[in-house]
Structure 1
Amino acid sequence: MEGKPQQGGLVLTPQGADFAVWSRNAARIELCLFDAGGGKETARLAMERDGDVHRVSVDGVGPGTRYGYRAHGTYDPDQGLWFDPSKLLADPYAKQFDRPFHHDPRLGIVGEETQDLMPKAIIVRDIEAQRRKPLFKAGGLIYEIAVKPFTILHPDVPEGQRGTVAALAHPAVIAHLKRIGVDAVELMPITAWIDERHLPPLGLANGWGYNPVTFMALDPRIVPGGMAELRETVAALHAEGIAVILDLVFNHTGESDRFGTTLSLRGLDNLSFYRHLPDRPGELVNDTGTGNTVACDHPYVRRLILDSLRYFVLNAAVDGFRFDLAPVLGRTASGFDANSLTLREMLTDDVLADRIMIAEPWDIGPGGYQLGNFPAPFLEWNDRARDDLRRYWRGDDNMTGDLATALAGSSPVFGRDGRTQTRSVNFLAAHDGFTLMDLVSNVAKHNDANGEHNRDGHNENLSWNNGVEGATDDAAIRKRRQDDIMALLSTLFAARGTIMISAGDEGGRSQQGNNNAYCQDNEITWLDWAKLDDTLVSHTAFVSALRKRFAVFSEMTFLTDDDVEWLSPDGTPMTVGQWQTPNFSALVMVLKTLDNSNGKNSRIAILINRAQAEQTFALPYAGAIRWQLMAPEKTADAGDKLVVPARSVRVVLAS
C-alpha cells in the first residue's frame, strides 16, 4: 500500500511504518512493540487522534516487528463499553500472528494483564500474486475441505506438511482431486481462530475454524508459512485447473458473549463493532448462536470486510469466497436487506466483481432464512434441495415432484420475478451434520464425545440406517449403504446448478454418527485415506465425468419442457396421478444435451429406482433410438428395456 492507512492497518515507509486503528469511543489508544520473541514489550507509544482514527508513525520498524494495541476509556459493560488497558489487543488488520490463539479465562477478566497470553501481530510485506480470471464457473463441482482433517493422515504427504495448506499442493492430493473431477476446492476457515471457552476443560479443540479472532491473518497451525504458503498452494492448484474458494466468517468473532474474552474488536470499540439491543447497549445481539453478531453495516466493518477480501485476491489470487451465516452481511438495523451497501460493494468492487461469491443463506436471527433472496450473481447453498433429495431416497411419500424440481434447478426458489437462471449450490452433506455414510447409517445423532450429553447438533437429519444403527460388520447392510450412497451421488450429479460434496464423502468417510464434529480435532474427523471405499470413489469419478461430458448438467438456466421429458418406467409421460401417487418409486429424466466429447447433440436418460426391489424400465423411443448403458467399466447395449436394480440410478445414452 502507498500513503497512510486510511482507517486501520499499517503502511511501510522508508523510515519505518505508519500505524492506524479505528475507535470512536476509546479515550486513547497505545501501540505496543515487542522484541523478536514476542515476550518482552520494548515500547508503548501514544497514538494521535485523527477523528475516529488513531495514528502513529514509528521509525526503525519493519517486516518481522511484533506489535499489539491497548485501548483506554470507560469500562462499563452494561453500556457496551469494555475499555481495559490491561488487555493487549490484536490489530483487526493484522496479516500474521506469531502463534495461535488459545483460550484462557484470564483473557476475559477485567484488570488481568494478557500480554503473555496474546499472540503478537507481525509486520509483513505484501507480495501481490499474479492476477487471473477465476477458474471456476457456476455449474461445476466444489469440494469442501477442512484442511487439517483432510491431509493429516495422508500417507504420501511428508510428515512436516500434513495438516497444512501446503499439503493440498502435493501431487498425490491433486491426483485424487483430479480423479473425481473437482473444479474448485472450498477451504473451510484458515484465518486465525480461538477455541470456544467450554472446549479446553473438556479436552477438546475447535478443528474447523469457525470462530475467528481477526479476518486477514492466517492461522499458524494450518498455514505455518503464512500468505506465501497460501499463494504457492493456490498457484499449484491453478496449474492443474483447480480453483480455490475460501470459506470466511464475518458474522461473529471468538470474543463471544459478555462472559467471553477481550481480544480485538471488543477491546477497541465493542459498541461500534457488534450489534446490541437498541434499548440495552450492554446486551449483545446473538443472530449467530455464538454470542455476538458483527455489525457488518457499520462503515468501518464494511471497509474491513472489503479490505480482507481484496487482500486474499491480490495476494493469493483466490477465485472466490463462501460466507458463513451470510444474512449477517446484509443485516441492517431493520433486518436483512439484499440491497445493503455491504453486499452491493462486495459485488461491485473493482478487485472483487469477477470473483465467485457463495452464501450460506441463513442465520438464527429474525428473518434469518433468506434462501433465494441474495442478489445475483451470489450462488447459495440450497438446503431445500438437500432435504428433498434426502427425503426422496429415505422413502418419504409425495417426493417425486420435489425431486424433479431439485433436478431442474429449483425454480420456485431461484426463479422469482421472472429470473431464468438457477443460483443453487446443490449438496447432500456438508461440514455441518452427518457425513454421507453416516446419513445412511444412523437414524439419530451420536454426539456424546462432544461433552454436551448429546444435546448439541440437529436432531432431525432426514437420515436412515438400513437396519442397524451405526457401524456394522453385516455385509448385506454395508452393501445396502454403499448402494444408497451411489444412488444419492448419481442424483446429485444429475441436478442442474452448481454441486458440492464434502471431502471424504466420495469414499464413505464416517464421523461415528457425530453430526456436530467441529470440536473433534482427532480421528473422528481426520480422513483415513487407507479406509476409503474405492468402489465409491470410482463411482464418484464416473458420475463426475458424465457431468463434464454432457453440457446439460452444468448449464445454469432452469430445465424447461424444451430440455427435459419426465417419463414413468413404462416409457410414457408422467401423468398427474403418478406425480401425486404418495409412494411412487421411479422416475425417468430424458435430457437433450450437447456431448462435449464429440460436439454432437444427443439425448441422455437418467433412470431412478428408489424401490426396495428391481424394476424394469421401458426405454423411450423404442426402435427409433438405440440406447447404451453408461457404466464405469464400459458402455453396453441397453436394448429396449433395462432392469434397474433396487435403490439405484442408471444412465443410458442415445447412440
Structure 2
Amino acid sequence: MGERGRPAANGTELALGAVLTGTGTRFTLPSRPATAAWLCLFNGEAERRVPMVRAGDFWSIEVPAAGVGTAYGFRVDGPGLDPAKLLVDPYATVLDRRFVYDPRLSQPGADTADLVPRALVQSPLTGTPAPPLFRHGGLIYELNVRGFTMRHPDVPEAQRGTLAALARPAIIDHLRTIGVAAVELMPITAWIDERHLPPLGLSNAWGYNPVVPMALDPGLVPGGLAELTATVAALRAAGIGVILDLVFNHSGESDRAGPTLSMRGLDEGLWYAHAPDGTLINDTGCGNTLDAARTEVRALVLASLRHFARAGVDGFRFDLAPVLARGPGFDPAAPFFAEIAADPLLNDRVMIAEPWDVGPGGYQLGAFPDNWLEWNDRFRDDARRFWRGDGEAGVLATRLAGSSDLFAGDRTRSVNFVAAHDGFTLADTLSYAERHNEANGEHNRDGSAENHSWNNGVEGPSDEPEVLARRNLAARALLTTLFASRGTIMLTAGDEFGRTQGGNNNAYAQNNGTSWVDWACRDTRLEAFVAALSRARRGSVLEETIWLGPEARWYDLTGQPMSPDAWAGANGFELHLPDKAGDVVVRIDREAGRATVTRPGAESVS
C-alpha cells in the first residue's frame, strides 16, 4: 500500500489528496457522513464544482489535464456537514495564500470561498534523503523564522521574515560562531489566528495553530518547497542540521465555536477525539485534540514526516507529544512509536518530544522510547532555582550528569535548556520576578505564573551598575551550567546576547517588536562568552550521552572528595571528567555566583 493509501470498499487502493496520474490528477477525500461531495476547481476567483464519486468511506474523481499548479478545494454535504464551507485538502502541500480568520468561517451557511486558501496540485518529493547531519549531544538552536530575521541588518528587506533569510551568509556565520549543530524551527506550516486575537489587534507569532500539516505557510515560506529544500541544503553545507517543530496534537479549527476549514468540515469524527457524550476532548488546551489512536490520523502524520524528511530535514520536535500516544491514556507502547521505528524514511531521523500535555496524566517526562530525545523542563527549573538560591547542589549535579533519575536506558535522552520560546527569555528570567503579559489582552492571566525567576533587586530594565553586574554574572552562570551539562543542549535564539521581551512570558500573540530579535542591541560580550563556551564543549566528553560512571569524580569547593553527607547544604561542587588530553573540570560556586568550565588545551570559560 502506498504511503497515502487507503483500501476502498472494493479492496482497491486509493491515495488521498491530489495525486498526479500522468494524464491528469485524481482527487480523493475521506468523508463517512457525506451524501454528496464536490471537487472545486478555481481559475482565479471563478469556481467550477465537479461531483465526486463515492467508494466506501471515500470520495474521488479524476480530472484529465489537471496538472501541477491546479487550484482546488472541496465541499461536502450530509448530516452535520455544511456545503457552504470551502475545505482545504488535509494532504495539501502548497497553498495559494495564508489563512486569515473571519467570523464567517464559523457561521453555518456562510460561504467561505473568498476566505479559505486553495491548495495547489504539486509533484511529490521523491527519493531517499541523506542521513541526518545532526546527532544527539550537540547544540540545538531554537528559533522563530519571522522573529529571528525581521530586524537583521544584513538580510535584504524583501527577504526578512522568510525562511530563505536563514541561508544568508550573515545568519550562517552567526550560527557557526556560536557552534550550532542544528536549528530547531518553530512551526513553518500554515496556521490561522485564534479567533480572540483579531479584535485585540493581535496576531499569532509562533504558529502553533496549524490547519493542515504539510502545507508551508505562504508568508514564512513564499517560495514553497523549493525554498525549504534550498534553505535546508545551505544550512547542511555549513554543517548545520534542521529540525522542524510540528504540531500534530490539535488543529486551528479549535473548539465548537471555531472555524470550519478542513478536517471538521469533511468528517470531524474521523480526525478529532470525542468523549462518549460527543463533546470534543481537550487534552491540548486548544479546544480540540487530534485522535492519534485512529490509523487514519497516524497515516496523515507519518505521511507529513516522510514529506519533510524528503526535503532533507534531520528530525522533528513534537509539540504536546503525549497526544500522539493517547488511546485515550498515554501508552509508551503506542502504535505511533512502532510505526516510526519501522519506517525506512523515518527510523534514522531525530525525534524530540515535548513530553507533556494538559490532559489527564499528561506529564510524561522520561516515558518516551529509548531513541527519542525529550525536552527536560526539570533541568530548566532546577538550574534556575539553584542560582536563585533556593535549589540544592545535589539536584543540580544530577541534572548536569544527564538526569538519571528521569531517564531509563543506557544513556541520557535529555534536551537540557534554561529558557525556551514558551516562558521568560534568559535575560527576563533575571530581570522580572513576575510575568508582564498585559499586552496580550488577557489581564496578565496567561502564561506561567511560576518561572523560578528573580529580578536582582529591580523589576524590569535597570541602569544601576550593581544590578546589571548581578544579572550579567547570573546569565553567565546559567549559560555555563547549560553548556557544561551532559547530553544534548538547547539555546533559544537571542539568549546568547541578552534578548528581552519586556517580561512577557507568553509572547505568542506579539507579532511585533516584542518577540522580534533586536540585533542592534546585542550584548556582544555575552555573545562572545557563549561562543567560547561552545568551543570548550564541542568535541569534548560533555557532548557524550552515555551515563557518567566511576570515571567522574566529584569534589567540594575546597578540593576534597564529595562525600554523600557533604551534598546537604553545599553551595557548589567540582566535577572532573577525563577527556582526550586530561580532565575537563566544571566548577559550580553559588556563593561566588560563578560557574567555570576548564578543558585542557582550551581557554577557561567562566
TM bucket (normalised to shorter chain) is over 0.9
In the alignment, structure 1 residue 23 sits paired with structure 2 residue 12: no
Q: After TM superposition, give the deviation of residue 613 of structure 1 in Å.
A: 6.9
* Partner secondary structure for residue 453 of structure 2: coil
Q: Choose from 330, 340, 351 the match for 1:346.
A: 340
Q: After TM superposition, give the deviation of residue 341 of structure 1 in Å.
A: 1.0
* Partner secondary structure for residue 253 of structure 2: coil
Give 2:287's aligned amino acid. G
Q: 1:7 to 1:629 in 2, by over 3 A?
A: closer
> Which digits, 9 at most, give the CA deviation of each residue in 1:342-387, with x for residues without a partner?
2211222111010000000000001101100011211000111111
2:357 aligns to what? 363
1:285 aligns to what? 281
Name the count of aligned residue pairs.
598
In the alignment, structure 1 residue 325 sits paired with structure 2 residue 315: no
| Contact 2:246 2:318 (8 Å CA) reproduced | yes
2:10 aligns to what? none
Give 2:472's aligned amino acid. Q
TM-score (norm: length of structure 2): 0.96
Q: After TM superposition, give the deviation of residue 611 of structure 1 in Å.
A: 1.3
2:544 aligns to what? 555
> Which digits, 9 at most, give the CA deviation of each residue in 1:560-599, with x for residues without a partner?
2x22111111110113332112xx22211111112xxxxx
| Contact 1:212 1:249 (8 Å CA) reproduced | yes
Alignment of 1:293-442 (within 5 A): 293-314=289-310, 316-333=311-328, 335-397=329-391, 399-415=392-408, 419-442=409-432
2:440 aligns to what? 450
**Could you tell me how far apart the structure 2 residues matched to 1:70 and 1:381 are?**
40
| Contact 2:473 2:593 (8 Å CA) reproduced | no
1:574 aligns to what? 562
Give 2:293's aligned amino acid. D
Q: After TM superposition, give the deviation of residue 2 of structure 1 in Å.
A: 11
**Could you tell me how far apart the structure 2 residues matched to 1:320 and 1:588 are?**
35
Q: 1:585 to 1:311 in 2, by over 3 A?
A: same
| Contact 2:125 2:307 (8 Å CA) reproduced | no
4+ runs of 1 displaced by more than 4 Å? 1-5, 612-615, 626-630
Q: After TM superposition, give the deviation of residue 26 of structure 1 in Å.
A: 2.0
| Contact 1:166 1:223 (8 Å CA) reproduced | yes
Q: Choose from 530, 551, 571 the match for 1:585.
A: 571
**Could you tell me how far apart the structure 1 residues matched to 2:110 and 2:58 are?**
26
1:231 aligns to what? 229
**Could you tell me how far apart the structure 1 residues matched to 2:36 and 2:451 are?**
51
1:70 aligns to what? 75
Q: RMSD of the TM alignment (CA)?
A: 1.9
* Partner secondary structure for residue 510 of structure 1: coil
* Partner secondary structure for residue 6 of structure 1: strand
**Could you tell me how far apart the structure 2 residues matched to 1:313 and 1:370 are?**
26
2:83 aligns to what? 85
2:51 aligns to what? 46
| Contact 1:435 1:509 (8 Å CA) reproduced | yes
Q: Choose from 11, 14, 17 the match for 1:6.
A: 14
**Could you tell me how far apart the structure 2 residues matched to 1:430 and 1:496 are?**
18
Q: 1:25 to 1:403 in 2, by over 3 A?
A: same
* Partner secondary structure for residue 412 of structure 1: coil
Give 1:500's aligned amino acid. M
* Partner secondary structure for residue 383 of structure 2: helix
1:206 aligns to what? 204
* Partner secondary structure for residue 195 of structure 2: coil
In the alignment, structure 1 residue 604 sits paired with structure 2 residue 594: no
| Contact 2:555 2:575 (8 Å CA) reproduced | yes
User: Share of identical aligned residues, percent?
Assistant: 55
> Which digits, 9 at most, give the CA deviation of each residue in 1:464-498, with x for residues without a partner?
11110011121221122111111101111111110
* Partner secondary structure for residue 201 of structure 1: helix
1:641 aligns to what? none
Q: 1:67 to 1:493 in 2, by over 3 A?
A: same
| Contact 1:588 1:608 (8 Å CA) reproduced | yes
Q: After TM superposition, give the deviation of residue 628 of structure 1 in Å.
A: 6.9
Q: 1:134 to 1:277 in 2, by over 3 A?
A: same
Deviation larger for 176-185 or 538-547: 538-547
| Contact 1:408 1:558 (8 Å CA) reproduced | yes
Q: 1:343 to 1:27 in 2, by over 3 A?
A: farther
Q: After TM superposition, give the deviation of residue 135 of structure 1 in Å.
A: 0.5
**Could you tell me how far apart the structure 2 residues matched to 1:3 and 1:331 are?**
22
**Could you tell me how far apart the structure 1 residues matched to 2:113 and 2:600 are?**
69
Q: After TM superposition, give the deviation of residue 126 of structure 1 in Å.
A: 2.8
**Could you tell me how far apart the structure 2 residues matched to 1:614 and 1:535 are?**
16
- The structure whose Rg is larger is 1
1:512 aligns to what? 502
| Contact 1:129 1:231 (8 Å CA) reproduced | no
Give 2:452's aligned amino acid. L
Give 1:9's aligned amino acid. G
**Could you tell me how far apart the structure 1 residues matched to 2:163 and 2:127 are?**
17
1:58 aligns to what? 63
**Could you tell me how far apart the structure 2 residues matched to 1:612 and 1:376 are?**
38
Q: After TM superposition, give the deviation of residue 61 of structure 1 in Å.
A: 1.0
Alignment of 1:461-480 (within 5 A): 461-480=451-470
Alignment of 1:533-548 (within 5 A): 533-548=523-538
Q: After TM superposition, give the deviation of residue 559 of structure 1 in Å.
A: 1.1
1:597 aligns to what? none
Gaps in structure 2 of 5+ consecutive residues? 6-12
**Could you tell me how far apart the structure 2 residues matched to 1:20 and 1:586 are?**
63
**Could you tell me how far apart the structure 2 residues matched to 1:85 and 1:549 are?**
59
* Partner secondary structure for residue 527 of structure 1: coil
* Partner secondary structure for residue 496 of structure 2: helix
**Could you tell me how far apart the structure 1 residues matched to 2:152 and 2:21 are?**
44
Deviation larger for 508-517 or 604-613: 604-613
Q: After TM superposition, give the deviation of residue 612 of structure 1 in Å.
A: 5.0
> Which digits, 9 at most, give the CA deviation of each residue in 1:229-251, with x for residues without a partner?
00000000000110000000000
Q: 1:627 to 1:15 in 2, by over 3 A?
A: closer
> Which digits, 9 at most, give the CA deviation of each residue in 1:155-181, with x for residues without a partner?
001111111000000000000000000
